[in-house]
């Protein structure tokens, strides 16, 4: 079945550092890929998405490129802020439906 693997956290960075959170997936077809963010005590918010190979999703300074050849969708940001501290989830959806398969989440802590 489908699965998503994320790097384990927590990831601790200083403000203005470069961020990469790795995400790889296994799917039988051509999934859509997503990054969701969860701030403490809240639900999830969609951060960005990509629906086909080589698409780049971007939002709030975050970017991720759909790499079919490496089955990856790594999240990057050039300069993190303390307000970016949250848990980030990589997810996929396949088959034209709405069901999402999530990774285990990666906690990001940004310090001054």
Whole-angstrom distance, CA of residue 33 vs CA of residue 25 = 9
Q: Which of 10, 16, 46, 82 binds another protein (CB under 8 A)?
A: 46
Q: Which of 55, 65, 67, 102 binds another protein (CB under 8 A)?
A: 102
State the virtual CA torsion across 69, 107, 101, 42 in degrees, nearest 10: -140
In DSSP notation, 63-112 reads EEE-BTTTTB--EEESS--GGG-EEEEEEEE-TTS---EE---EEEEEE-
Q: Which of 40, 43, 70, 112 binds another protein (CB under 8 A)?
A: 43
What is the smallest separation between the CB atom of 81 and another protein, expressed in angstroms?
Answer: 23
Q: Which of 14, 20, 26, 45 binds another protein (CB under 8 A)?
A: 45
Residues that bind another protein (CB under 8 A): 32, 41-46, 49, 51, 89, 93, 96, 98-100, 102-105
């Amino acid at each position: 079945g489908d699965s998503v693997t994320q790097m384990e956290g927590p990831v601790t960075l200083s403000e203005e550092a470069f961020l990469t959170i790795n995400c790889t997936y296994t799917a039988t077809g051509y999934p859509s890929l997503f990054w969701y963010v969860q701030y403490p005590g809240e639900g999830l918010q969609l951060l960005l998405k990509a629906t086909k190979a080589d698409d780049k999703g971007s939002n709030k300074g975050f970017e991720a490129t759909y790499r079919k050849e490496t089955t990856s969708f790594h999240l990057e940001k050039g300069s993190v802020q303390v307000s970016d501290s949250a848990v980030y989830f990589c997810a996929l959806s396949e088959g034209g439906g709405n069901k999402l398969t999530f990774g285990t989440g990666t906690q990001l802590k940004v310090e001054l």
